[in-house]
C-alpha cells in the first residue's frame, strides 16, 4: 500500500515537474488527429503537454506540413529560397557540374518531398494500425535521467538550451522522439507562422526574426530518419568566413554556408555550390520558411548572397536554438552517402527532372524490404512490385493489391499506397 502510494506520488510529481502547463489534460478524442497524422505518435504528448501545449503541437504540425509543401512542385532550383540556402542550378561549379553534385541535388529534392509526406502517410503495418516504433513520438516530458530543457528563463528573461530536440531510437527503444521543451511553448517570440504572416509585412532582410513553432518543428523533423531521408541529416559544424567553427544554425549562417565556395563571400570561386548543405537540418528549415514568406509577402530578393557592410551586420541569432542533436564536422561528411536513392528515377544526367517515389519509413529498411509485399492503410497487401513506379511514373503493371484475400483493382481506395499513378483508363 505504502509502496503503491509512493509510486503514484512519484508519477504525479514527475508529470507536474515536466509539464509546461499545470492544468490536468481534459479527456478528448484524439482519434481524428491520429488518423490525420499517422507518422506521429501523439499519445505521450496528450498526457504530457497539457491542453494548450497539445493544441499548439497539432496546429503547428498541420501548418508545418503546409509550409513544407508550399509552392515547391515546379522547378525548385528557380526559387529564391533555393538560391539562398542551396544555390540555383547552372554556371560554373553548379549542381550540374559533377556527378556527385547532381546526385546530391536529387537527394535534397527527395528529402524535401519526404518531409512533406511522412507525417500524413507514415508506414502502415500489417492489419492497418501504425506501430509506435515506425512513428515519431512527440513528448514534453524529458526521458529519465535527461535534463536538457531549461524549465524557466534566466532572471534576465532569456531562455537557454533548446526549444526542442530529437532523440534517436537507440536511446529508448520506442522509436524516434521529439522532445518539446518549456521554451518552445513559453518563449514570447516563438509564434504561429500564421500570426506572423497576418501581422505587419517585413522585408526579406528581417527573415531571422520570423521564428515560429512551425520552424522549430520542421528543423526537428529533418533529424528524424524514419521520414525516409537517404542519410541522417545532422547539425553540421563548419567554419564560414568571419565566424569560428560552429553549428550552422540560423538564417545567416545557413545562407553563408551555402554560398561559402562562391567568390561573393570570400576568397576565389573554388567549388561552386556547397553540396554539404544536403546534410544540414537548418538549411532545409530556413529554405521552407523563406519560401513561405517570399510568396506571402512578395519579397523581391532573388536569394543571392550580397556582402553587407560590417557596421550594419548585427548579431542575428544571439540565442542559438541549440537542439543538441548529433553534429558532424563538415570535413567529416562522408560524400559516399550521396547516391541516387533507389526510389528516384533519373534519365541520363537530367538530375533536374528526377522523380522520386515515396519511401514509407526508414530508407535503409525500404531498400531491404523492396522485394517484399507491404501494407496499405486500409489493411490490403500490395505486391513487391508496387514499391517503385515504372516507365513514365505509372504504376508497375505487375503491381497487385489484395484485400480480404481477393485481388482488388488498384483504383479501389483501399489500395492507396502503391508508387506511381494509375494507367490512363482505356478510351471507350
CB of 323 to Zn ion, least distance (A): 4
Q: How far apart are CA 211 and CA 189, in angstroms?
A: 7
Dihedral sign of CA atoms 132, 134, 138, 143 in order: positive
- In the complex with Zn ion, the residue whose CB is nearer, 142 or 235, is 235
Number of residues located near Zn ion, criterion CB under 5 A: 4
End-to-end, the C-alpha distance of the chain in Å comes to: 76
Q: How far apart are CA 85 and CA 71, in angstroms?
A: 16
- In the complex with Zn ion, the residue whose CB is nearer, 235 or 396, is 235
Residue 396 is a binding residue for Zn ion (CB under 5 A):
no
CB of 148 to Zn ion, least distance (A): 13
Q: How far apart are CA 110 and CA 344, in angstroms?
A: 8
- In the complex with Zn ion, the residue whose CB is nearer, 325 or 389, is 325
Site track for Zn ion across 299-338, x = CB under 5 A: ------------------------x-x-------------
**25 contacts: CB under 8 Å, gap ≥ 6:** 46, 47, 50, 51, 54
Listed residue (280, 229, 36, 193) closest to 115, CA to CA: 229
CB of 280 to Zn ion, least distance (A): 9
- In this structure, what C-alpha cell is assigned to residue 81? 529560397
- In the complex with Zn ion, the residue whose CB is nearer, 96 or 323, is 323
- Chain positions 194 to 253 lying near Zn ion, rule: CB under 5 A, are 235
Kindly tell me which residue out of 150, 281, 289, 360 binds Zn ion, with binding defined by CB under 5 A: 281
CB of 306 to Zn ion, least distance (A): 27
- In the complex with Zn ion, the residue whose CB is nearer, 119 or 250, is 250
- For residue 246, the cross-strand partners are 238
189: Cα within 13 Å, side-chain hemisphere: 11
- In the complex with Zn ion, the residue whose CB is nearer, 281 or 344, is 281
CB of 324 to Zn ion, least distance (A): 8
- For residue 280, the cross-strand partners are 234
- Catalog residues that contact Zn ion under the rule CB under 5 A: 235, 281, 323, 325
Amino acid at each position: 500500500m505504502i509502496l503503491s502510494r509512493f509510486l503514484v506520488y512519484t508519477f504525479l510529481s514527475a508529470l507536474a515537474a515536466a509539464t509546461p502547463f499545470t492544468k490536468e489534460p481534459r479527456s478528448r478524442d484524439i482519434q481524428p488527429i491520429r488518423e490525420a497524422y499517422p507518422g506521429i505518435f501523439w499519445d505521450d504528448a496528450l498526457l504530457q503537454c497539457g491542453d494548450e501545449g497539445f493544441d499548439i503541437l497539432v496546429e503547428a504540425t498541420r501548418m508545418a506540413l503546409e509550409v513544407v509543401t508550399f509552392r515547391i512542385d515546379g522547378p525548385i532550383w528557380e526559387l529564391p529560397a533555393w538560391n539562398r540556402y542551396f544555390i540555383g542550378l547552372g554556371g560554373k561549379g553548379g549542381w550540374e557540374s559533377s556527378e556527385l553534385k547532381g546526385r546530391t541535388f536529387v537527394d535534397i529534392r527527395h528529402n524535401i518531398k519526404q518531409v512533406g509526406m511522412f507525417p500524413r502517410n507514415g508506414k502502415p503495418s500489417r492489419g492497418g494500425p501504425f506501430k509506435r516504433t515506425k512513428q515519431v513520438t512527440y513528448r514534453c516530458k524529458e526521458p529519465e535521467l535527461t535534463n536538457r530543457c531549461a524549465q524557466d528563463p534566466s532572471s534576465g528573461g532569456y531562455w537557454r538550451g533548446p526549444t526542442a530536440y530529437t532523440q534517436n531510437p537507440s536511446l529508448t527503444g520506442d522509436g524516434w522522439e521529439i522532445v518539446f521543451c518549456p521554451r518552445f511553448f513559453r518563449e514570447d517570440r516563438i509564434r504561429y507562422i500564421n500570426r506572423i504572416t497576418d501581422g505587419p509585412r517585413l522585408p526579406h532582410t528581417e527573415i531571422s526574426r520570423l521564428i515560429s513553432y512551425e520552424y522549430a518543428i520542421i528543423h526537428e523533423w529533418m533529424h528524424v530518419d524514419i521520414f525516409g531521408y537517404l542519410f541522417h541529416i545532422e547539425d553540421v559544424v563548419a567554419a564560414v568566413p568571419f565566424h569560428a567553427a560552429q553549428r550552422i544554425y540560423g538564417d545567416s549562417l545557413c545562407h553563408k554556408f551555402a554560398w561559402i565556395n562562391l567568390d561573393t563571400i570570400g576568397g576565389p570561386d573554388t567549388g561552386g555550390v556547397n553540396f554539404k548543405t544536403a546534410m544540414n537540418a537548418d538549411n532545409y528549415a530556413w529554405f521552407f520558411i523563406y519560401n513561405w514568406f517570399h510568396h506571402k509577402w512578395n519579397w523581391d530578393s532573388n536569394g543571392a548572397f550580397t556582402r553587407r557592410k560590417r557596421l550594419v551586420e548585427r548579431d542575428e541569432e544571439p540565442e542559438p536554438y541549440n537542439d543538441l542533436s548529433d553534429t558532424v564536422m563538415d570535413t567529416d561528411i562522408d560524400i559516399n552517402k550521396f547516391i541516387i536513392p533507389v526510389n528516384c528515377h533519373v534519365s541520363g544526367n537530367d538530375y533536374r527532372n528526377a522523380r522520386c517515389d515515396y519511401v514509407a519509413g526508414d530508407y535503409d529498411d525500404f531498400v531491404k524490404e523492396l522485394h517484399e509485399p507491404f501494407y496499405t492503410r486500409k489493411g490490403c497487401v500490395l505486391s513487391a512490385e508496387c514499391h517503385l513506379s515504372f516507365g513514365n511514373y505509372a504504376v508497375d503493371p505487375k503491381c497487385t493489391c489484395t484485400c480480404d484475400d481477393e485481388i482488388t483493382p488498384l483504383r479501389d481506395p483501399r489500395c492507396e499506397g502503391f508508387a506511381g499513378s494509375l494507367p490512363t483508363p482505356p478510351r471507350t
